[in-house]
Amino acid sequence: MDSPDGTRATSAEVPPQEAAGTPARRLLGVPRQRHRTDPNGDDMTPAPAPADTGTLAFVESPVQLLNVLEWAHAARAAALTVVVLSPHDPMTRGQLRRMAELARDEGHALRWEEARGGPTAPLRTIGGLTPLLRRARRVVLGDPFSRYVQLLLGLTRARDLVVVDDGTATMEFIGQLARGERLVRWHRHGSGRGPRDLLFAPFAATARRRLTPDPEGARRRRTVALFSSMPVEVPEGMAVTANDFAWTRGRFGPPRLTRTADIVGTSLVETGVVDTDRYLAAVARLARAHGATRYFAHRRESTGKLHRLATETGLEVVRPDLPLELIARRGPVGRLVLSFPSTVVHTLPLALQGTGVQVAVCDIDPAWLTAHASPRAQGFLDDVTGTARDVRRLPVADPETRPRRRRTATDPDDRTPPPNAVAEHGDRT
């Protein structure tokens, strides 16, 4: 069976490994990763669009790329060009490298763009992609909230647009589109009317118009389709295809099941939605109540928080090298998978269909929310949980109303690594 431990490609043609200012320190409870060289070499070499297709896909996260592969499988798309608009985050970049290997194995062309590699990177990226955008007949995108994607949408002549899931953000995107609202991420706090927002407003408005289906009978009608595993009601004129993770189930597993439970991490702390102490207390209670032994970290979770979590809960913290849907399908995986409101409460039941794994979700208590959380946060999280199918609902894990004292750097037993320490990692969601 495959291990959940991550691996890292070191081919000269893949994106460069992220450099750290100090030697990496191993995160307590995180298995040391194995390094591997890809014998095939240039899995990231920029490639022109294949001659037999005009389909161009833009992704910025591993989950988006996974869902592009699922869409290509469902649509029987023989080949397409996938453009990776690479982010800064090392964990995200690492998982994108691994997902790109899988996409290349499926016969798709990969083009890696260091889209955020300095002040001139956007101009270079847009200039290099403009010929492909002009030729493309169909554009597939994973994050309609991305300013990069919104800018690129203004340059394409494609009449067919496909939106694939970027996790639960898809639910908010469809709701805003149906209501004719500005496209704003659900966890953003504030008016969204700062100087940069105002400067970008014309491009965002153009992108929203392009993502709105043309009415029947329109001249040179533009089609907009959604490929999703989320429970959504699309606006009139938008076609929707259900993502049942058929490619994932056919490519991996079935997994070996362990006797214990696993907990899936979230980035609710990192996005400023949930208080750190409340979150760690809830994880500890879930672990004790259900006999969990492993914690699968979200790719955006901070090293310091994960160190605290491993120390205070005794859980083995695992940094997966692929999206959790693939990690769980490969196994080994617990017979019970515990999660807070997140994408996996919708996707894991589909990916693990027929395996005997039960997925359970724990609600977020309003008392856990920070003062900086968006006013929409609680309603959105409740909707994520309430619409999940084939999952077990759990009561709130932390009934206490008084937050625990936060550790400080002066505590004698505090072993949180300094801010510039980098945990070793594979690559994951």
How far is 233 from 226, CA to CA, in rounded Å?
10
Rounded Cα–Cα distance for residues 232 and 55 (Å)? 25
In a domain, 346, yes or no: yes
Residue type, 279: Y
User: Cα dist. 289→207, 365, 397 in Å?
Assistant: 47, 17, 9
- Same-domain status, 270 and 235: no
Same domain, 333 and 348: yes
329 and 361 share a domain?
yes
Q: Are 33 and 425 in contact (CB under 8 A)?
A: yes
Instruction: Looking at the structure, tell me whether residues 255 and 231 fall in a common domain.
Output: no
Q: Is 352 part of any domain?
A: yes
- The domain boundary residue, chosen from 224, 243, 262: 243
Q: What DSSP designation does 423 have?
A: B
Q: Provide the residue-wise pLDDT of the chain in tens; the chain has 429 residues.
A: 333 333 333 332 344 444 333 333 334 433 333 333 333 333 444 444 443 458 999 999 999 999 999 999 999 998 899 999 999 889 999 999 999 999 999 999 999 999 888 888 888 998 999 999 999 999 999 998 888 888 899 889 898 999 999 888 888 888 888 888 877 775 554 445 667 767 777 878 888 888 888 776 566 678 999 999 998 888 888 999 999 999 999 999 999 999 999 999 999 999 999 999 999 999 999 999 999 999 999 999 999 999 999 999 999 999 999 999 999 999 999 999 999 999 999 999 999 999 999 999 999 999 999 998 888 888 889 989 999 999 999 977 644 433 343 333 333 333 333 333 323 333 333
Whether 412 is covered by a domain: the verdict is no
Do 199 and 259 lie in a common domain?
A: no
Total length of the chain: 429
Integer Cα distance of 19 and 57 in angstroms: 28
CA distance 155 to 318: 41
Host domain of residue 264: 249-394
The last residue of one of the domains, among 243, 262, 282, is: 243
d(CA 297, CA 263): 9
25 part of a folded domain: no
If asked whether residues 388 and 293 sit together in one domain, one would say yes
How many domains is the chain partitioned into structurally?
A: 2
Asked whether residue 20 is domain-assigned, the answer is: no
Q: Are residues 205 and 264 in the same domain?
A: no
The answer on 91 and 219 residing in a single domain is yes
- Same structural domain for residues 237 and 309? no
Residue at 98: amino acid letter: R
Residue 323: CA count within 13 A, CB half-sphere: 25
Q: Is residue 32 part of a domain?
A: no
Interatomic CA distance for residues 329 and 332, integer angstroms: 8
In a domain, 115, yes or no: yes
Whether 51 is in a domain gets the answer yes
* 336 and 232 within one domain: no
227 and 280 both lie in a single domain: no
CATH of the domain at 315: 3.40.50.720
Token pair for 418 = 């300094």
- 58 and 180 in a common domain: yes
